[in-house]
Amino acid sequence: MRLKFLVLAAVSGFACTSPVMAKAGDPVAVSDNATFDPMLAVRLRYESVSQDNPLQDADAVTARIRFGGEFKTGGLALLAEGEGTVALVDDYNDTLPGNGVEPYSVVADPENIELNRLQLAYKKGGSGLTVGRQRTILDNARFVGNVGWRDNEQTFDAVRGEAKVGPLKLDAAYAISQRTIFGTDSPNEHFDGDFVLLNAGADLKAVRLSAFAYLVDYDMRLAFSSKTFGASASVSFPVGPGISINGAASFAAQSDMGGNPTPYDAEYYNLEAGVSVAGFSLKGGYEELGSDGGVASFQTPLATLHAFNGWADVFLTTPPEGLRDYYVSAGYSLSSVPGLPALKLGATYHKFEADIGSADFGEEFDISLGTKIGPVALLAKYAAYNADTVGVDTDKFWLQAEFSF
């Protein structure tokens, strides 16, 4: 209850005084060679879920606050950040056991208070070392990310080294624990193991290249232990005033590792092509998470999964038959709306199929509208999944306001 009042006070406070607070977020000098950078992020969100099954429709209003700070002196930095989530309307299944039989659909934002990050780092000239509980996002988060869409962030207990030499960037991390989105009261609060995350990239301006190796060896979640090796490339070429051609390609091979009881080999492919013209963008793509004979399939258990394969989150775990996702998306940015510095509209259509066999899984349509008023980012999102052979018809809707400095 005390957390609920604190969060409500923070939400009402930033609505009235946010311009002053944003200035207060600048680093403060505490000595000739040391600074302290306060951090605050407040999110208020409504989420509804309606599914074609016996579960009741879910309605959730949650408030999330992150607060902390970073002390820097020379190249040394100490960062500490807490995180709290409270449910103002809790007509939803928060995934926590012990709440009785849940009549509602899932919204994976349980009430929670936790230490989100605590890290010590030394960096100089783009190179350095970070030790402790930390946020880790590699490339576009398709394989390793922070699951930033959910209220409780995914972090890692890890040691991470980064080096930058000209256009080349090297990134190597060893983690012993994946701190999940499910909160401190969940049996799935964390998954321990040995996680080796290796990434090398080159930014050549028009062309970006990346190669990676992710070795995931869980102590208990054995079916998701795997080793993945892959590479990706993206290009963006201007072809006229306000016009550019964009493309991307990725490939990865995955196989079982450690105590995984199922030997398998599966491959991953992603191809995209698009064009941007004066604020309008259009792209089409194909993503495949392959299957080994329908027995086991390509999995990405450390990823920011909500950003891929539809916002309805039907395919957070790849089906044994694998997954083929054909998608097309369009976006438009408006900068001439009075009072709104940027208004962004986006829409995506997905067609899902099995990799093994010819089953049609379903299709999904996603749409979003976002803008920013002062320091407050506003977002509305809608996802509609129409099931064929996987899952059930699902509609999700979100309204969100977020402030941070």
- Measured at the alpha carbon of residue 308, what is the angle toward residues 251 and 368, in degrees to the nearest 5? 140
* pLDDT of 77 higher than 60: yes
Rg (the chain; Cα; Å): 22
Write down the domain spans for the chain: 2-404
Q: Which of 321, 320, 325 is nearest to 305 (CA)?
A: 325
What's the pLDDT tens digit per position in 386-398? Answer: 999 999 999 999 9
What's the pLDDT tens digit per position in 116-156? Answer: 999 999 999 889 999 999 999 999 999 999 999 999 999 99
Percent of the chain with pLDDT over 90: 83
DSSP character string of 155-186: EEEEEEEEEEETTEEEEEEEEEEEE-TT-TTS
Band the pLDDT of 242: cuts 50, 70, 90: confident
Can you tell me whether residue 83 is helix, strand or coil? strand
Indicate the residue type of 101: V
| pLDDT score of 246 | 96
Could you tell me the fold of the domain covering 2-404?
Porin (2.40.160)
Q: Which of 266, 253, 279 is nearest to 336 (CA)?
A: 279
* pLDDT of 332 higher than 50: yes
What's the pLDDT tens digit per position in 202-221? Answer: 999 899 999 999 999 999 99
Q: What per-residue string of b and e applies to 311-326 under the rule 16 or more CB within 10 Å gives b?
A: bbbbbeebbbbbbbbe
| pLDDT score of 100 | 66
Rounded to an integer, what distance in angstroms lies between the CA atom of residue 230 and that of residue 166? 23
pTM of the model as a whole: 0.90
